[in-house]
Chains A and B, each alone.
Chain A
Amino acid sequence: MASERVPRLGVLWCPHWPVVVAGAVAGEPVAVVHANRVIAHSLAAAEAGITIGQRRREAQACCPSVRIEQHDPMRDARVFEQVVRAVGVRVPRLEVTEPGLLTFVARGPARYFGGEAAMAEMLVQTAADALSGTSLGGTSLGVGVADGRFAAVVAARRSSRAGRPLVIEAGQPATAEFLSRLSVRWLSVVAGVPADVVHLLQRLGMQHLGAFAALPEADVLARFGHVGAFAHRLAGGGDDRLPGTVDPPAGMQVQQVFDEPVHHSDALVFVGRQLAEQLVGALAADGRVCTRLLVTAETEHGEQSERLWYRSSGLSAAAMVERVRWQLDAWAQHEALTAGVMMLRLDPIEVCGDDGVQLGLWGGRTQADEWAVRAVARLVAVAGEQQVLVPAAQGGRQPHDAYTWVPAITADLLEPAERLAMPAGPWPGRLPSPSPALVHDPPAPLSVVDAAGQVVRVTARGGVSAPPVTVTFGVRGTIGGSVERVQSWAGPWPVEERWWDATRTRRIARFQLLTVSGRLLLAVVERGTWALAAEYA
């Protein structure tokens, strides 16, 4: 691997992209959170002491005036597409590493534009022009050109601070010289080396990458293992591809050609999911995972969208689908497509051995999420597909209507926004909160009688035949049904559902019944029959 040349890469970096998209103005403290952890913050927020990885409450304690925004990767990607398209006109085969970070091979464009410095200047100008018409104009951009991904990203990030492009001379000695004076923390910020390893380096007295690079490689490997050796190679300006990165065997690409042109992006994403699962499965059979993926879509009239996606920890099927969706949405939004899509192709460009090490999770997915998703897959295998459920918003007037349970295999666990978006109301006749903690679906048998022992009826005018006095759980008259006296009650609250549909219309009256033992029941009456719909347990 060491014999191979380190690729010369250019990187375009838009600093604090999620914050910029969230509409931060200069000097305003803004933090973007995911699962209650800060994943991005504005400069003003950083000055107030907010750091990446903080809990939301800690961030608010540091800076009470901070504006907290929820992480929305879809929005970040959609807005970034303007930059990608503008730069894509000048530079081929762009790779969107994450929204806010573009990587490309520098050799070709540099020759075309007359030198790396000229190319870098031109790119800053192009990207700034693309953003100038929008509310995001004036965002400081950084372009770095260097050997290898690590040095290039570091150079781009430093260039955005300096305000001018930064080109590091080719060759391992120059790269090592550039890195030697920088903090070892870049290893965890950019390359995803675990923070505790970096912390340990600092506690051992190595503040700069140069000091770390000066250690003998064999000693580092013995003390820190493969992660340490990888970090050491980065610090020395060496090959920064993940250990075991190789070109995939030929013929791994998967594609789907449609008989009928597809016009709906949801349908395409669904096909994308099948292709992604097929590809991930085929790679997993070899113990490999795809780190760089080329997604191509083509319409009937030959319009084409081609994007390269990279993720250092490897793209799971869900991550691939997400990127397919980003690409298709942006494509459909920015180009007036004249025909439906005829072909979708996923092509793995680079794969590496799947050793289970999660390096560099770009974005804010937490460890807990990864574990939970794995546990759900295991639960489905053990308990059955229909037995493992997650909530989905439905909207309705009855306690069991507002949310319903759907099988977990049909839901995207890590993209729950769509599933949990409550349909816009109003839902007249909904009972006010608090909601019952136990819902019986279908309702359990119940009987409610008055002082004379007659079943309480609801009159046509919305009154009751007599106040309820006793409730019997279970079917009345059978052995085992427990009887309780009613202490207080309220109702009936009538609901008439789907009155426009003669076959599905329902008239229901609801009551709250409080028994002497302190149980509060939500009972429903339909056609003179009582049932226990829910319980405020």
Chain B
Amino acid sequence: MARGALADNLTALAALAEKGVVSGAVARERTLPVLTPFVDLLPHGALQRGSVVGCHGVAGVSLAIALAAGPSAEGAWVGVAGMPGLGVAAAVELGVAADRLVLVNEPTGSGADGTRFDDARWAEVLAAMIDGFDVLVLGPGTERVRAGTARRLMARLQARGAVAIVVGAPDAGPFGTDLTLQADSSQWQGLGDGHGVARGRRSVVQVAGRRVPRPRRVALWLPGSEGCITTIEQPHGTVVPLRPTG
């Protein structure tokens, strides 16, 4: 091939790079896919790599697992810390791949179990998890991490492009969230007074955060009768938020 054509191509490439053109493929790699019910709820319809998402409210744990299920089904690994009692059966029903799930269990500090993690140990554990897994689910056990440590970890999270999903009371933990999902007004269906069995929970999830100018809401089965998450079709458009009384 002619040397001249090669040089022309190289100049064209350099010009493209200066403009900061990002191909579609690269832009897609900056997000992690989510399950269908979350597509309309989240900004850009996906989880932004490097972001911290808070899941609060009565259905917070189910919500966090359901958020992690999208990337997990697409081949991502999910690391869980600070939440020793995670129900694997529920996670599998919500769509998490059990073969790519790892749990780090903090010793209880009683008996021969070993001492609880101090701040430095938590920093090492979480750093290793950030390096290795695309999605981290952080339970109340990680709330003891110091604010300075948490800031360093979040910088690492952004550099590596993982996503942290924090479960617990709002503002309880040291991790500043980019996006919060609040799951409230939980109504269990199927349970009577001494009869029936719980078949599903209607839950209203509200999203707020920096990139969400107006809070968005959606009504979900979280979980539904098969344990999976589905959107509840609203006959009258959006859900009218309930006003607190008293």
Tell me the A residues contacting B by CB distance below 8 Å. 35-37, 55, 203-206, 211, 214, 366, 368-369, 371-372, 374-376, 378-379, 382-384, 386-391, 393, 399, 402-403, 405, 408, 416-417, 419-420, 431-441, 464, 467, 488-491, 512, 514, 517-520, 534-537
From known contacts A433-B227, A518-B58, infer whether A489 and B100 are also in contact, taking CB-CB under 8 Å. no
Contacts of A438 in B (CB 8 A): 61, 83, 85-87
From known contacts A372-B132, A518-B186, A537-B60, infer whether A434 and B225 are also in contact, taking CB-CB under 8 Å. yes
Contacts of B102 in A (CB 8 A): 372, 376, 379, 388-390, 408
Complex partner residue of A490 from B104, B114, B133, B197, CB under 8 angstroms: B197
Tell me the B residues contacting A by CB distance below 8 Å. 1, 5-6, 9-10, 13, 58-62, 65, 73-77, 79, 83, 85-93, 98-107, 114, 117, 121, 124-125, 128-129, 131-134, 186-188, 191-201, 223-227
Check A434–B200 contact: CB distance below 8 A: yes
From known contacts A489-B194, A512-B191, infer whether A205 and B186 are also in contact, taking CB-CB under 8 Å. no
CB-nearest residue of chain A relative to B190? A490
Contacts of A384 in B (CB 8 A): 107, 114
Contacts of A439 in B (CB 8 A): 85-87
Contacts of B201 in A (CB 8 A): 434, 520, 536
CA distance A489 to B223 in the complex (A): 18
CB-nearest residue of chain A relative to B224? A434
CB distance from B80 to the nearest CB of A (A): 9
From known contacts A35-B75, A420-B98, infer whether A388 and B88 are also in contact, taking CB-CB under 8 Å. no
CB-nearest residue of chain A relative to B60? A537
Check B58–A383 contact: CB distance below 8 A: no
Check A36–B75 contact: CB distance below 8 A: yes
Known: A371-B77, A391-B88, A432-B199. 17 other contacts (CB 8 A): A375-B128, A375-B133, A379-B125, A379-B132, A382-B124, A383-B104, A391-B101, A434-B93, A434-B200, A434-B224, A435-B87, A436-B89, A437-B61, A438-B85, A441-B85, A514-B191, A518-B186
Complex partner residue of B198 from A214, A399, A520, CB under 8 angstroms: A520
Contacts of B128 in A (CB 8 A): 375, 378-379, 382
Contacts of A366 in B (CB 8 A): 75
CA distance A375 to B203 in the complex (A): 35
CB-nearest residue of chain A relative to B160? A371
From known contacts A488-B192, A514-B191, A518-B186, infer whether A434 and B198 are also in contact, taking CB-CB under 8 Å. yes
Contacts of B187 in A (CB 8 A): 518
CA distance A395 to B138 in the complex (A): 27
CB-nearest residue of chain B relative to A414? B99
Chain B interface, >50% SS class: mixed
CA distance A96 to B186 in the complex (A): 57
Contacts of B125 in A (CB 8 A): 379, 382-383
CA distance A449 to B88 in the complex (A): 31
Check A520–B104 contact: CB distance below 8 A: no
Check A399–B132 contact: CB distance below 8 A: no
Check A378–B87 contact: CB distance below 8 A: no
CB-nearest residue of chain B relative to A211? B1
CB-nearest residue of chain A relative to B128? A378
CB distance from A28 to the nearest CB of B (A): 26
Check B61–A489 contact: CB distance below 8 A: no
Most buried by A among B58, B65, B192: B58
Complex partner residue of B86 from A374, A393, A437, CB under 8 angstroms: A437
5 pairs from A and B in contact (CB 8 Å cutoff): A204-B10, A206-B1, A375-B131, A387-B105, A514-B188
Check A435–B58 contact: CB distance below 8 A: no
Contacts of A378 in B (CB 8 A): 128, 131-132
CA distance A292 to B76 in the complex (A): 31
Most buried by B among A203, A206, A434: A434
Complex partner residue of B89 from A214, A388, A403, CB under 8 angstroms: A403
Check A387–B85 contact: CB distance below 8 A: no
Contacts of B114 in A (CB 8 A): 384, 386-387
CB distance from B244 to the nearest CB of A (A): 14
Contacts of B117 in A (CB 8 A): 383
Complex partner residue of B132 from A211, A371, A517, A536, CB under 8 angstroms: A371
Contacts of B103 in A (CB 8 A): 388-391, 405
CA distance A514 to B191 in the complex (A): 8
